[in-house]
């Protein structure tokens, strides 16, 4: 529909239209249902891939180059970022959710590296559980450096996370 209405978009116009009309549909309730099947992930990414071709002069560039020039990331990276932000909110009590509902803090005496908010992984009989929010975010959360995780506010956490990933 966007392609029919706008033939040649400049970078600024594309970002306004994309962030206002396209991306919200791609990310609606993403932390809840987060796609884990390869076909679903590819289908969503294909929409973004096609949308970035609408920018005048970017059509022949590779997908990664288009994303870089537009200042966007892959949807998979955005999903992971959203998971980490939600985890930060739950662990620090900024969400009105009991953190024990989702996570168990790692109290191991032997795990002295990293930060003080490390999470313990729980083993499950069911293979499908590894795709649940409370399971899929743990390895990524535990790899974050202490200065990112020990942020005071959500915005500080986001800024430090983005800076860390930019390195």
pLDDT at residue 63 in the model: 94
**What band does 109 get if pLDDT is binned at 50, 70 and 90?**
very low
136-156 pLDDT tens trace: 888 888 889 989 998 999 999
How many CB atoms are closer than 10 A to CB 116? 9
Show the CA angle centred on residue 161, arms to residues 157 and 162, nearest 5°: 120
> Could you tell me the pTM of the whole model?
0.77
**What band does 164 get if pLDDT is binned at 50, 70 and 90?**
very high
Residue 167 pLDDT > 70, yes or no? no
Nearest to 138 by CA among 104, 164, 111: 104
Place of tokens 């662990």: 91
Domain boundaries, the chain: 2-72, 78-166
pLDDT at residue 112 in the model: 54
Residue 31 pLDDT > 70, yes or no? no
Beta carbons of 52 and 63 less than 8 angstroms apart:
yes
């Amino acid at each position: 529909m966007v392609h029919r209405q706008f033939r040649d978009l400049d970078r600024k116009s594309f970002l306004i239209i994309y962030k206002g009309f396209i991306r919200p549909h791609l990310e609606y309730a993403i932390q809840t249902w987060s796609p884990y099947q390869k076909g679903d992930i590819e289908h969503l990414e294909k929409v973004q891939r096609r949308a970035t071709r609408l920018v005048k002069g970017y059509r022949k560039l590779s997908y990664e180059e288009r994303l870089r020039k537009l200042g966007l990331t892959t949807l998979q990276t955005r999903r992971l970022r959203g998971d980490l932000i939600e985890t930060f909110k739950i662990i620090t009590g900024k969400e009105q959710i009991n953190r024990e509902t989702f996570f168990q803090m790692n109290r191991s005496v032997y795990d002295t590296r990293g930060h003080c908010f490390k999470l313990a992984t729980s083993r499950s009989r069911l293979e499908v559980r590894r795709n649940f929010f409370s399971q899929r975010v743990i390895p990524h959360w535990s790899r974050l450096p202490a200065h990112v995780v020990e942020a005071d506010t959500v915005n500080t956490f986001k800024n430090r996370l983005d800076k860390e990933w930019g390195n």
